[in-house]
Amino acid sequence: CSTITTPRTNWLSRCFTIEYAVWFRAFLPGLARLGLVVPLGGTTLFFRRDVLEELGAWDAWNVTEDADLGLRLARRGYRTELIPTVTCEEANCRPVPWVKQRSRWLKGFAITWAVHMRRPGALLRDFGLRRFIAVQALLLASFSQYLLAPILWSCWL
């Protein structure tokens, strides 16, 4: 999982720390335990090279190529395992870079959703109904989170 090394710099870094803790310590492990599709996070990823080559490696046009790769792994029947290790990162503590980062992530999730939904029937066949619905909910919730985050985080002021 990722952990933030600068959690007390300011309000934004505290919010970032909470977000990362929820995503990497609760949400992604929960998806894995439930056998759902895990959109990979960009840090500390390990792959078998032959599998990565089989999938065509990363999508160079997608800014969340890691999340896309998680969906492609699941579509091919691979399971994502999370190992209990920590990657240290610094929180994005300034508003403009934070907004730019979130905008990239939102754009990337939208691209990932659009790419995989080009053929929804094939996606449904690949995932099965339960995992298909979970992916739709996950990506739609990711979009809405960016609208709701300032409201939800206001309790930490």
Span 43-52, pLDDT tens digits: 777 888 899 8
Distance of CA 141 to the CA centre of its chain: 11
CB atoms within 10 A of CB 46: 7
Residue 63 pLDDT: 86
CB atoms within 10 A of CB 107: 13
| 6 DSSP assignment | -
Paired tokens of 88: 């240290």
User: 155 pLDDT band (50/70/90 cuts)?
Assistant: low
User: pTM score > 0.95 for this model?
Assistant: no
Q: Work out the end-to-end distance of the chain between its first and last CA atoms, rounded to an integer number of angstroms.
A: 26
pLDDT exceeds 70 at position 5:
no
Span 11-45, pLDDT tens digits: 888 888 888 888 888 888 999 999 999 998 777 77
Q: What is the CA radius of gyration of the chain?
A: 16
User: 120 pLDDT band (50/70/90 cuts)?
Assistant: very high
pLDDT exceeds 60 at position 1:
no
Instruction: Report residue 121: phi and psi, to 5°.
Output: -65, -40
Instruction: Check: CB of residue 44 under 8 Å from CB of residue 85.
Output: yes
Span 57-116, pLDDT tens digits: 888 888 888 899 999 999 999 988 888 777 777 777 788 888 888 888 888 888 999 999
Q: Where are the beta strands (DSSP E) in 38-110?
A: 87-89
Domain ranges of the chain: 2-156
